[in-house]
Amino acid sequence: MNEKTSSGEPFGNRWTIVIVGIMLHLCFGSIYAYGVLRNPLLDHFKSLGLNPSAMDMTWPFIVFLTFFALFMPLAGPYIKTMGPKKVCMIGGVLCGIGWLAASFASSPLMLIPLYGIIGGIGVGIAYGAPITTSAQWFPDKRGLAVGLTVLGFGFSSAIITYMTRFLLGNGWGIMNILRMFGIVFIVLSIVLSMMLRLPSSGWKPSRMTTTISSDPVKIDFMREQMIGTSAFKGLWICYTIGALAGLTAIGIAGPVGKEVFINAGMSNDAANNLIFALILPFAIFNGLGRPIFGVLTDKLSPKRTAIITYVLIILACLTIYIGYSSILAYIISFCILWGCLGGWLAIAPTATASYFGMRDNARNYGVVYTAYGAGAIIGGIVSAQAKDILGAFQPFFLIVAGLAVLGIILALGLLKPPTMKSK
């Protein structure tokens, strides 16, 4: 049975839902802090007499991304039938169990089922529940509400990174840190999920008296109907390109930064310190990109906002390609790339609701979100193998710029409100 309010807004204010969503996504987004956990985990496994390769340590994260992407669409129908509270609670607890179970891993291979599969399934189940709930409470400001809700997902990795570094510096072992995070995420997921509610059928905010111009859909598309539209195909491919560009940038930010900083004349230690110092501003851009591009999607349309992200991606890629010995070029480029990735995590759900309506939104966005999964899996593999494949990181940015050009072409041709085909 759906959890819905009888009338009016939840707890007297619908913004409470957004705040709860941010806090929940701070828990779910922690999984992206794997980059900072990786080296301490590697040291732990070496202390056990193992000698894992770079790919051995990358597979748990790739498997996590795969199961995240697979279970996001599978969970969509249950948000509608069971309600967001129960779905989010189940997923959040599984996410915490994944962290907790990973603390008992004795090899990278064990991290795959514990961290990768359990954690990935948990985040996949829970991720869409706060988004769908916020979207339904804000038919008048959907992009802003969704963008703010997923803001927590962007900030989470930075928070977990700094907390992990602090705890490691104060004598905590990496396995105790995983255990602590797991317990905290389980408790927070249970408590916060209890606050998720859907509005009553037909509910609208009191100040919403006219049709929202940024919501052109006249009828609601069920998932099977949505998949047959050119708007869905265009949105899926455009989302894949945006996710691929951003996630690969996150994956190679460390090694590219080190190359650029050393090219600029910095010492190895100074380069490492600057890379760590930049984690926070990059995460801020990633987080703020979500509400900013969400608002732009409300105001300008998904098509125009998508094109803006691609133009920014092209400029960022060309900047770092040309200025591969410039610290300033690196900082500007990666701030933009991280920001655009965050932007797509607001553009895609807002576009899905705008183009295809809210009746089957949870299932619809679940399918659209597989594009992020595709980009994440490809990006994860590329970030681990880019230098081996291309011989250097620098040429990769031209490839991403080319993909962004393709994205502009597809957005111009396919990103437009769909029409229902008559039988």
What confidence score (pLDDT) does residue 325 get? 92
Distances from the Cα of 194 to the Cα of 91, 92, 137, angstroms = 13, 12, 16
Q: Quick one: average pLDDT of 341-364?
A: 90
Place of tokens 């006219």: 210
Residue 420 backbone dihedrals phi, psi, to 5 degrees: -75, 125
HEC states along 95-121? HHHHHHHHCCCCCHHHHHHHHHHHHHH
List domains and CATH numbers for the chain: 1-201 (1.20.1250.20), 218-416 (1.20.1250.20)
Mean pLDDT of 40-62: 89
Q: What does the pLDDT read at residue 351?
A: 94
| Average pLDDT score over the chain | 87
Over residues 18-29, mean pLDDT = 93
Q: Is the pLDDT of residue 333 over 90?
A: yes
What value does the mean pLDDT take over residues 27-31? Answer: 86
pLDDT of residue 175: 96
Provide the sign of the torsion angle of the four alpha carbons 359, 360, 364, 366, taken in this order. positive
345 vs 80, more confident: 345
Backbone angles phi, psi at 416, to 5 degrees: -155, 155
pLDDT in tens, 117-176: 999 999 999 999 999 999 889 888 888 998 899 888 878 878 888 899 899 999 999 999
Q: Percent of the chain having pLDDT more than 70?
A: 92
**Torsion sign (Cα): 355, 357, 361, 363:** negative
- Phi, psi torsion values for 272, nearest 5 degrees: -65, -40
What is the per-residue pLDDT for 215?
A: 47
| Per-residue model confidence (pLDDT) at position 250 | 75
pLDDT tens, 308-324?
A: 999 999 999 999 999 99
C-beta pairs of 323-331 under 8 Å, 24+ apart in sequence: 324/259, 324/260, 324/263, 324/394, 325/260, 325/263, 325/264, 326/260, 326/264, 327/260, 327/261, 327/264, 327/266, 327/274, 329/260, 330/256, 330/257, 330/260, 330/261, 331/278, 331/281
Across residues 234-244, what is the average pLDDT?
Answer: 93
**Distance between CA atoms of residues 154 and 286, nearest Å:** 5
Residue 213, burial from CB neighbour count under 10 angstroms (0-12, 13-18, 19+): exposed
pLDDT at 7 over 50: no
Q: Are 248 and 382 in contact (CB under 8 A)?
A: yes
Is residue 384 predicted with pLDDT exceeding 70?
no
Say if CB 375 and CB 92 are below 8 A apart: no
Q: 264-278: per-residue pLDDT in tens?
A: 999 988 988 898 888
Q: Which of 361, 356, 375, 348 is nearest to 129 (CA)?
A: 361
pLDDT at residue number 213: 43
Q: What is the pLDDT of residue 265?
A: 92
Amino acid identity, position 43: D
pLDDT (0 to 100) of residue 202:
72
95-104: average pLDDT: 95
Comparing CA positions, the residue from 28, 25, 244, 22 lying closest to residue 120 is 28
- Nearest Cα to Cα of residue 21 among 124, 135, 118: 135
Amino acid at 143: G
pLDDT band per the 50, 70, 90 thresholds, residue 11 = low
Identify the band that residue 9 occupies on the pLDDT scale cut at 50, 70 and 90.
Answer: low
Token pair for 294: 């969400």
Positive or negative: CA dihedral 241, 244, 246, 252: negative
Mean pLDDT over residues 111-121, rounded?
94
